[in-house]
Amino acid sequence: MPAIADLTLANQAAVTEARSAYAALNAMQQGYVSKLATLTAAETKLADLQVQADVAAFKTAHTIILGKTTDTVSIADKAAVSAALSDYTALGVAVQTQLTGEKALLDSLEDQIEVLETKAADHFKSTQSEILNKTTETVVLEDKTALIAAQSAFAQLSEGTQAKLTAEKTLLDNLAAQIAALETAAVNNFKSNHSTILEKTVDTIAIGDKTALVAAQTAYASCNDAIKTRLATEKALLDSLATKLTVIENAKATLLNTLFDAATEKSRAMVSIDGTDVPAIRMWVTQEDMDSFNTAITTAQTAHDDAMATDASLTKAINILITAITTFATAMQPGSRSVYITPTPGQVTVAVQFNQTIVLTLSSGSFIDGIGAEHITLGGDLTGISVGNVTKTSSNTISIQLSGVLTRNTGIGMITIAAAGTTENNVITANVAVNPLPPPAAALNGLSIREGIDGAGQELIIGFDPYNLSYSLQVEKEINSVKVMVTAAPGTKIKVCFDSVEVTDGIIVLDEGINTVYVVVSEANRYDRIYEITIQRGLIDECFIATAAFGSKFEPAVAMLRHFRDQYLLTNKPGTAFVKFYYHNSPPLAAWIADSDNLRLYTRIALTPIIAVVYLIYHPAAAAVTGLLLLLLMIFWFKRRRRKLI
C-alpha cells in the first residue's frame, strides 16, 4: 500500500481488505499488529477523498442548475432544482457539509420558482378573466373560443402553477360541459326548427320549399364550427336539396319557355270547320283540336304555378306539352279562301300602351278610295282598341293606326273590313296573332351599391330583393361617388347605365340632387329585366308625400309646407334630423300614394290640419280671428250647457 499522502480511491479495495484481515485476527494477534495507526490513517484519508469525489460528482451532475441565480431561474428549471435537492438529501452528512453554499442556492431557487408559479397563476387569471368571470348560468356558445384558449393556456402551465389554479380548472371544466350541453341544445333546436325541410328528400323537394331551405341554410351558416360538425348529415341533406331545387327551377323555366312556344304555335292557327273561311296563307284546325290543345296548355300552366311542383311533375308537364305542340302542329292545315287580307305584321304583343301601325294587303280587288275607320271593325283580342288614321297606300293596300290597352284572351285579334270597303263587296276578316309577353330575364343573384369610388364605404342597399325593380336611396352631400357591384345569374348579360350612358366599371360619379342608375339584365328570348335605382345626393327641394297627394310640388299648399320646412325646421338640429329622416323614408310611401286616387284623397284630408296650422303661423291676423271665433264658440257652448243644467 502506498504512503498515506499518495493514496487514491483506487486503493480503496486494498485498504478495505487490510481492515477485513485485521478484523479476522484474535485479540492476541491484533496486539502484534504494529501498523494499525497507519491503517486507520489510510481509512481516514480515503474517507476524505470519497467526500471530495461525491462533492465534485454532485456539482458536475447539477452544473446547469447550480449556474442559475434567482434572476435567471425559470419555472422550467423546477424539475432540475427538485432533482438536485433530492440528490443532496441522499448524500452523507460529510458531503452535505461541503455543499452548504449549493444547498442554500437550491433553496433560494426553489423559493423563486414558487414565486414565479404564483405570478404565472395570477397572470393566467388576469389574461383569462373574461371566461373566468363566466358561470354555467351566464356562459353562451360564443364563449367557446375563449374557453378553448383558456384550456390551452392552462395545459401549458407547470404542474406547480396548475396546482394553484384548481378552482379555475374546475370552473373551466364546468363551462366546457355547459357549452357542450348548449351545443347539443342548439343542434336539437336546429333540427326541430327546420324539421319540415329536413324531412324532405331529393324526390319530395318542391319549388315551394325554397323559403324553408334558404332559412335552414342561413341558420346553419350562423352556427359555430362544433355545431356544424354535429350537423354534417343535415348539411349534406340541405346541399343535396339545394342542388335538386336548382334542377326544379330550371325545369320550371323550361316549362315556361315551352308554354311560350305553345302560345306561339296556337297563334298560327284559326278555328274552322273545313278551312274555306280561312285565307290560304293561314293555317286552321278544328274546334276539337283547339280545345284539346287548350287543355294541354292549361294543365301545363297549372303545373308551372303549383307551389308544390317537383322535378318529376314539371318534367312530366314539359313532355306532355311538347307532345301536344307536335300533335297540334300536325293537325294544322292551310286555308282555302282565295280572297283574303294579309296583315303586316301578322302578330303583335300585349301592351298597356299599345300603339301599332298595321298594313293590310288585299289578295284580289282593291280598297275603295274613301276607305276610313268607319269601314273597319275590330274583334277578338283587338276589341276595345281604337282605330286612328287609315291611309290607302296603293289600290290593294292600306295602313291603319291602332292604339289602346291590348290584352290577350284567345290569342287572336280580328280586323274586319266591311263589304263597302272593297270592290269585292265581301266582308273580309284578317286575323292577327296576339302574343303574350315573353318571360323576363332571370333576376340578379346579388346587387350591392357602396359609397366611395372603390366601393369600400357604407352599403346602401340593405336586404336586396331580386324581384324588387325599384330602389330609392339617399347619400350625404359629401358622398360624390358610389360603386355598383352585381352578381349575374347564369346565361344573362348585365349592363349598368348612369342615366342613358353605360358604365363599364360600375363607378358612378354623383351629381348633386337626383341621380338615376339602371341595371339592365338581358337574356336570350326574354325581355330585359331593368332595375331602377334613384340615388338622392343631399336633401332635395321636395315634400314627397304632399307632392304625391296634391299632384305637383307647385301647388300652393305644397309650396307653403316647403317654405315652412326651410324657415322653421332646417334652422335647428331637431328639425334638420326630422327632415333627414323624412326624406330617407318617405319616397316609397309617396310612390304608393301617388298610384291610387283614393289614397291621394285620404292623404289630402289628413294633411289639412297640418296645412291649416302652418297657414295660421304665416298669417297672424287670421290666427287671431280663428282664436276669437273659437273662444266665442266655447262661451256660447258653455252658456247653452249651463241653461240645460238649470
What pLDDT score does 84 carry?
94
Q: How far apart are CA 7 and CA 3, in angstroms?
A: 6
Residue of 538, 487, 542, 544 lying closest to 515 (CA atoms):
538
75-95 in b/e burial notation, b at 16+ Cβ within 10 A?
Answer: bebbebbeebbebbeebeeeb
Q: Which residues contact 594 (CB under 8 A, 6 or more apart)?
A: 548, 600
Length in residues, the chain: 646
Q: For the chain, what are the domain ranges?
A: 4-60, 62-121, 128-176, 268-334, 343-435, 446-537, 544-622
pLDDT higher than threshold 80 for residue 553: no
Q: Which helix (H) or strand (E) holds 413?
A: strand 412-417
What pLDDT score does 566 carry?
65
User: Which residue is listed with cell 393566467?
Assistant: 124
Please give the DSSP secondary-structure letter assigned to residue 527.
Answer: B
More confident residue, 14 or 384: 384
Q: How far apart are CA 272 and CA 280, in angstroms?
A: 13
Q: What is the pLDDT of residues 90-123, one digit of tens each?
A: 999 989 999 999 999 999 999 999 999 999 999 9
Averaged pLDDT, 182-209: 92
What pLDDT score does 31 carry?
72
pLDDT higher than threshold 70 for residue 486: yes
Domains 343-435 and 446-537 share a fold: yes
- The burial of 299, by beta-carbon neighbours within 10 Å (0-12 exposed, 13-18 middle, 19 or more buried), is given as middle
What CATH number has the domain spanning 343-435? 2.60.40
3-state secondary structure of 122: helix
Computed over every residue of the chain, the mean pLDDT equals 86
Q: What is the pLDDT of residues 41-93, one digit of tens each?
A: 777 887 888 889 989 999 999 999 999 999 999 999 999 999 999 999 999 99
Q: Which residues contact 567 (CB under 8 A, 6 or more apart)?
A: none
Averaged pLDDT, 454-463: 85
pLDDT higher than threshold 60 for residue 539: no
What pLDDT score does 581 carry?
75
What pLDDT score does 121 carry?
94
pLDDT higher than threshold 70 for residue 645: no
Averaged pLDDT, 445-461: 89
Assign 467 a pLDDT band (cuts: 50, 70, 90): confident
What pLDDT score does 600 carry?
82
Q: What is the pLDDT of residues 492-516, one digit of tens each?
A: 999 999 988 899 889 999 887 778 8
Task: Please state which of the ranges 29-43, 141-155, 257-271, 312-326 shows the lowest mean pLDDT.
Answer: 29-43
Q: What is the pLDDT of residues 171-183, one digit of tens each?
A: 999 999 999 999 9
Q: What is the pLDDT of residues 406-438, one digit of tens each?
A: 988 888 999 999 988 888 777 888 899 888 877
pLDDT higher than threshold 90 for residue 589: no
The answer to whether domain 446-537 has CATH 1.10.3470 is no
Alpha helices for 502-552 (secondary structure H): 544-550
Assign 332 a pLDDT band (cuts: 50, 70, 90): very high
CA quadruple 287, 292, 297, 303: dihedral, nearest 10? 150
Assign 543 a pLDDT band (cuts: 50, 70, 90): low
Assign 25 a pLDDT band (cuts: 50, 70, 90): confident
Residue of 112, 100, 68, 61 lying closest to 84 (CA atoms):
61
Residue of 110, 108, 50 lying closest to 79 (CA atoms):
110
